[in-house]
Amino acid sequence: MNGHPTREEDFDLYALGALEGDEKAAIGNHVATCSSCAEKLAEARGRLALLALAVPAVTPSPSVTTRLMNQVRSEKQGATRAPAVSPVPDTTGGLFGRWWAAVLVPVGFALALASFVLWTQNRRLDQQLAVLHEDMQREQQQLQSAREVADLINARDTMIVPLAPQPGMPKGSAHVMYNAKMGMLMYEGQLEPNPANKSYQLWIVPTQGNPISAGVFNAASTETDHFLMKLPPGIAPKAFAVTLEPAGGRPAPTGPMVLVGAAS
């Protein structure tokens, strides 16, 4: 072959591995020095690679190669029938066996790499969704608390109890808002910082029974402490008090009263 291949399908046949002998050598030698034909051969190989991915793997019988080669020779020689070619067993896996591995190995590697990238991205998205879910739950809780505070403040039967500082105790002021019908209580106040080994603790002093802890907190001089809690059912408060307890609080008051106020 002195010039360019005259048939476009010669590139497909060469890429397919269906050409043999002089025909194969002629095209192979030509594309080595012709960039235009080398590009056409690359396009043919690309088409065959896509075809390989689009159809299931099938190993043709040896007679397929014989019929294909006979047809190619017949078309090139006009009406002259090519001599019969004896089937030769293909030890490489059939017509597609010679290039099948060359296609599947890089494709398989690319698929494995893509799967790993997708798995990594999905894992990162799952982590981001988990963080967003936690943030959303936190915001919903804050929104719910804000609504409960607004309902407590706006209710006509909500009681406000000022808590007076006791002599010789850390200075500060606070008040308790509570609504027995709604079963809600809110503390709001500002106290001097508690010692490092101590905590402030709010108590509900019921008309009957022992004081009930309503929350343990640590104070900062520049911040206002406030928290919301549910009133125990069936409890009628007669007073509220803040005591100074060992760090973390106690089940029953043991320290001095810092703030105190009567509920009625």
Average pLDDT over residues 196-220: 93
Contact (CB, 8 A) for 190 and 225: yes
Return the bridge partners of 177, or none.
160, 186
Contact (CB, 8 A) for 27 and 14: yes
Cα 264 to Cα 237: distance, rounded to the nearest angstrom: 8
Asked whether residue 46 carries a pLDDT value surpassing 60, the answer given is yes
Q: Give 98-133 pLDDT, tens digit per residue.
A: 555 555 556 666 676 677 667 777 878 888 888 898
Q: Which of 30-34, 147-151, 226-230, 250-254 has the highest mean pLDDT?
A: 250-254
Q: What percent of the chain has pLDDT over 90?
A: 30
Cα 224 to Cα 1: distance, rounded to the nearest angstrom: 94
Q: Quick one: pLDDT at residue 80?
A: 46
Average pLDDT over residues 27-55: 76
Q: How many CA atoms lie within 13 A of 2 on its CB side?
A: 0
Q: Quick one: pLDDT at residue 187?
A: 94
Cα 52 to Cα 75: distance, rounded to the nearest angstrom: 26
Asked whether residue 162 carries a pLDDT value surpassing 90, the answer given is yes
CA 12, distance to chain mean position in Å, is 45
DSSP state at residue 200: E
Asked whether residue 207 carries a pLDDT value surpassing 80, the answer given is yes
Length of the chain measured in residues: 264
Q: Average pLDDT of the chain?
A: 79
Contact (CB, 8 A) for 246 and 198: yes
Asked whether residue 58 carries a pLDDT value surpassing 60, the answer given is no
Average pLDDT over residues 90-96: 49
Q: Which of 101-110, 123-132, 152-161, 231-240 has the highest mean pLDDT?
A: 152-161
Average pLDDT over residues 193-210: 93
